[in-house]
Amino acid sequence: MTGKASLKVSGDKVSGWIGPSEADPIPVDGSVKGSHVTLRTHPQEGRTVAFAQCDLTLNGDRMTGRIDTDKGTIEFVRVPSK
């Protein structure tokens, strides 16, 4: 499964969205501590998400980690803004 995300870091707080596309976003928030990132989703009524929370490790332009379901791992790859 692939999707898109837009994340912003301010201090140790993360905010933004994740979803199948920019036109179908689900709000997220979380925190950053060193190279560890935690994201939590906030789906709207009637929507489902791939995870409620995931814990990631930042390494260069990639964040990789486990999600809180039986779906396994997730990877975020940074793509430069156009």
pTM of the predicted protein model: 0.80
Instruction: Please check whether residue 51 is in contact with residue 69, taking contact to mean a CB–CB distance below 8 angstroms.
Output: yes
- Rounded Cα distance, 41 and 27, in Å: 6
- Rounded Cα distance, 26 and 51, in Å: 11
**Phi and psi angles of residue 39, each rounded to the nearest 5 degrees, phi first:** -120, 140
- Rounded Cα distance, 29 and 15, in Å: 4
Encoded amino acid at 58, one letter: L
Q: What is the pLDDT of residues 25-53, one digit of tens each?
A: 899 999 999 999 999 998 778 888 878 88
Q: Indicate the DSSP class of residue 3.
A: -
Look at residue 36 in the predicted model and tell me its pLDDT.
94
